[in-house]
């Protein structure tokens, strides 16, 4: 993450403090950082660490935290990780624009799935779409889906998504997924062909990944891309002489490799996502949709 940030911001303005991966370590790192009089804090990463940093900073400096747990947001602490609510609302909004009126959502019991299910429930009234939850647990039989829906949403990843995709072939039911379900293996692309997926634009991410690899070696992931975007926001604000809370809340928002974002006063972050259609040869961006 630090290497990615240094691609977007001058190293003389980037100071790193090790949290040790614990709440106590995060609080100590934040206290040390405050002594340097920073204009902006990027991090921490984990849900355990975010409240410790928020309480230590106590609103004195804006915090761009990389957790995807939206419950941790508070005034002055912005949750910059890609959340289940953001991608779920984005894919449902696009699906509704394409005429989808009823969705069955597979809930595998994971925290990500639970957050996605909550977001889907909240989107029903806003979008005029009917969402039926289908809890699926390992070792248990699949529940009765009832009347066939227009689409099935799978917020998870891996073989569960591929298995569902195989089962939906030739049924006429549209498969919906989020970035968790992206799978670039040729055999997976064949199975997922035709699925609609909400995700950061792979073209923009690919450009960043190439630059990162050329400078540092290795292949960066989404977390590194978030660090790159956060540092890029800091760089843009500093160049505009608005590196402060007011600058961060500029309604025009910011563009990055993980997509356009806008910061809100309650600590939430609005994101726009690319809508991808899975093809046997790769993922094709076809539209843009706003998340929660």
Per-residue model confidence (pLDDT) at position 36? 95
- Token pair, residue 227, equals 């660090």
Total structural domains within the chain: 2
Which position has the token pair 């953001």?
Answer: 86
Q: Answer whether 133's CB lies under 8 Å from 105's CB.
A: yes
162 and 25 housed in the same domain: no
Q: What is the CATH number of the domain that holds 55?
A: 3.40.50.2300
Instruction: State the residue range of the domain holding 55.
Output: 2-82+203-259
226 and 193 housed in the same domain: no
| Of 201, 207, 209, the residue nearest 182 (C-alpha) | 201
Per-residue model confidence (pLDDT) at position 162? 81
177 and 226 housed in the same domain: no
HEC readout, the chain: CHHHHHHHCCHHHCCCCCCCCCHHHHHHHHHHHHCCCCCCEECCCCCCHHHHHHHHHCCCCCEEECCCCHHHCECCEEECCCCHHHHHHHHHHHHHHCCCCEEEEEECCCHHHHHHHHHHHHHHHHHCCEEEEEECCCCCCCCCCCCCCCEEEECCCCHHHHHHHHHHCCCCCEEEEEHHHCCCCHHHHHHHCCCEEEECCHHHHHHHHHHHHHHHCCCCCHHHHHHHHHHHHHHHHHHCCCCCHHHHCCCCCECCCCCCEEECCCCCEEEEEEEEEEECCEEEEEEEEECC
283 and 142 housed in the same domain: yes
pTM of the model: 0.90
244 lies in some domain: yes
278 and 139 housed in the same domain: yes
- Residues 208, 210, 216, 220: is their CA dihedral positive or negative? positive
Per-residue model confidence (pLDDT) at position 140? 61
64 lies in some domain: yes
232 lies in some domain: yes
Rounded CA separation 163/50 (Å): 36
Per-residue model confidence (pLDDT) at position 142? 56
247 lies in some domain: yes
20 and 70 housed in the same domain: yes
177 and 154 housed in the same domain: yes
248 and 228 housed in the same domain: yes
14 and 60 housed in the same domain: yes
pLDDT tens per residue across all 292 residues of the chain: 999 999 999 999 999 999 999 999 999 999 999 999 999 999 999 999 999 999 999 999 999 999 999 999 999 999 999 999 999 999 999 999 999 999 999 888 888 888 999 999 999 999 999 999 888 776 665 556 567 899 999 888 877 778 888 888 888 899 999 998 888 899 889 989 999 999 999 899 999 999 999 999 999 999 999 999 999 999 999 999 999 999 999 989 999 999 999 999 999 999 999 999 999 999 999 999 998 7
φ/ψ of residue 185, rounded to 5: -70, 140
164 lies in some domain: yes
């Amino acid at each position: 993450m630090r290497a990615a940030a240094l691609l977007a911001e001058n190293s003389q303005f980037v100071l790193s403090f090790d949290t040790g991966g614990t709440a106590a370590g995060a609080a100590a790192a934040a206290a040390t950082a405050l002594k340097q009089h920073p204009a902006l804090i990027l991090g921490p990463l984990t849900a355990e660490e975010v409240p410790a940093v928020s309480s230590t900073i106590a609103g004195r400096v804006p915090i761009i935290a990389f957790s995807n747990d939206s419950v941790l947001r508070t005034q002055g602490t912005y949750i910059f990780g890609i959340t289940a609510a953001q991608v779920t609302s984005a894919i449902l909004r696009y699906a509704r624009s394409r005429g989808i009126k009823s969705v069955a959502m597979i809930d595998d019991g994971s925290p990500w799935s639970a957050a996605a299910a909550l977001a889907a429930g909240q989107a029903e009234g806003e979008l005029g779409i009917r969402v039926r939850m289908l809890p699926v647990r390992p070792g248990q039989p699949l529940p009765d889906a009832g009347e066939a829906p227009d689409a099935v949403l799978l917020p998870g990843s891996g073989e569960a998504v591929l298995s569902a995709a195989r089962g939906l072939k030739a049924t006429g039911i549209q498969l919906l997924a989020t970035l968790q379900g992206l799978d670039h293996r040729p055999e997976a692309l064949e199975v997922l062909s035709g699925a609609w997926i909400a995700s950061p634009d792979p073209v923009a991410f690919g450009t960043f990944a190439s630059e990162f690899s050329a400078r540092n070696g290795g292949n960066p992931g989404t977390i590194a891309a978030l660090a790159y975007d956060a540092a890029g926001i800091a760089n843009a604000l500093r160049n505009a002489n608005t590196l402060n809370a007011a600058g961060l809340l500029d309604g025009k928002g910011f563009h990055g490799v993980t997509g356009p974002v806008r910061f809100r006063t309650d600590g939430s972050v609005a994101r726009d996502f690319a809508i991808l259609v899975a093809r046997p040869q790769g993922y094709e961006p076809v539209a843009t949709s706003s998340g929660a």
